[in-house]
Amino acid sequence: MVRPGAAGRSLLLAAFGALGLAAQSLALTFDDGPNRVRTPLLSPDQRNAAILKALKEAKVQAIVFANGIDGGDTPEGRAALAAWGEAGHRVGNHTYSHLRLADLAAFEADFQRCDAMIRGLPGYTRLFRFPYLKEGATLEARDGMRKALAEAGYRDAQVTIPTFDWLIDEHLRTRLKADPHADLEPYRTYYVEDVLDQADRARALALRLTGREVAHAMLLHHCLLNALFLGDLIHALRANGWTLVGPLEAYADPIYQQAPRTLDTGTSLLRTLAAERGLIPARAEGLEEAYAREKVRLREAGL
Ligand SMILES: [Zn+2]
């Protein structure tokens, strides 16, 4: 498959290089770790090891946002999380039960429960990732949780580059269950291309919003797809001009100090801020619409 945007990207990269401007950078962040549900091809331990191996080979430091469910709070799950810290990565909080913030007291207790689970681990870092990227259904809940995070010494680990790795992963697992010998190459290609496009779009929006390169935070998941193709993805990102930085380096960017005033759309910090400033429509495509569009694309690609 030929990437229509590839030539444009190289030209842009050359232009930025010639001007001596900073190249684009991003940090890799992995939600829902360590996912220990059964999948085709690889065991939970093999998936965890494969993701860590890809990061090590590429010399990339990343962060995993932990849950207690899906096997996280078991001896094996805690060992899998510890392996991240021991390899030099960060371990953050994604709530114990992957809750959607509705009831503040219940949500806060679940956040604290995850904190208790990860506090003793190497790499423990007070960064919090909201499940579904939703800061809350009401301004009261949102502000209450912002206060609770600050009191616990945590920061909101916002996302600037969302991806559909979780959806592509679902399709990949469904295909493998039906046919254990399915050709995986189309999934690899689609995944890498899709993420490069998401990254390009986020970068363009950040430039419109801030007039500069920001250090991006890319949302990925602890899943089979990344166990298989993370190395390819990192390689492609670098080939397209991206510098991979550690999570704390990315979150030092001032863009992450800008807490949205409105209830966020659950898609990305950049889209929420851009909507607030009228750069994109306030009722711009939300997660559900983006999800539906991606499903069509996957079907069109025969995946
Ligand atoms: Zn999640």
Tell me the CATH number at 77. Answer: 3.20.20.370
Of 269, 267, 270, 272, which Cα lies nearest the Cα of 291? 267
Torsion of CA 2, 4, 5, 10, to 10 degrees: 60
Domain assignment present for 108: yes
Q: What is the share, in percent, of the chain residues with pLDDT greater than 90?
A: 81
Structure tokens at 59: 């010399």
Residue 280 domain flag: no
The answer to whether position 288 is within a domain reads: no
pLDDT in tens, 63-74: 999 999 999 999
- Residue 168 resides in a domain: yes
* Ligand 1 center to 98 CA (angstroms): 6
Give me the domain span that covers residue 162: 22-257
Q: Mean pLDDT of all residues in the chain?
A: 92
Statement: the pTM of the whole predicted model exceeds 0.75: yes
The conformational region for residue 212 under phi > 0 = left, psi -120 to 50 = alpha, else beta, is beta
Q: What span, in angstroms and rounded, lies between the C-alpha atoms of 50 and 39?
A: 14
- C-alpha of residue 182 to centroid of ligand 1, in Å: 28
Please tell me the least confidently modeled range out of 161-170, 250-259, 284-293: 284-293
Q: Quick check: is 16 in a domain?
A: no
CA 119 to ligand 1 centroid distance, Å: 19
226 pLDDT higher than 50: yes
**What distance in angstroms lies between residue 131's CA and the mean position of ligand 1's atoms?**
5
Which of 132-146, 226-240, 280-294 has the highest mean predicted lDDT (pLDDT)?
A: 226-240
Domain count, the chain: 1
- pLDDT higher than 70, residue 5: no
Domain assignment present for 283 = no
Structural domain includes residue 295: no
Share of the chain above pLDDT 70, in %: 91
What is the C-alpha to C-alpha distance for residues 249 and 216, in angstroms, rounded to an integer? 10
If you measure from the C-alpha of residue 59 to the centroid of ligand 1, how many angstroms do you get, rounded to a whole number? 25
Residue 153 belongs to some domain of the structure:
yes
8-state DSSP, 23: P
Residue 21 alpha carbon to ligand 1 centre in Å: 34
Banded pLDDT at 17 (limits 50, 70, 90): very low
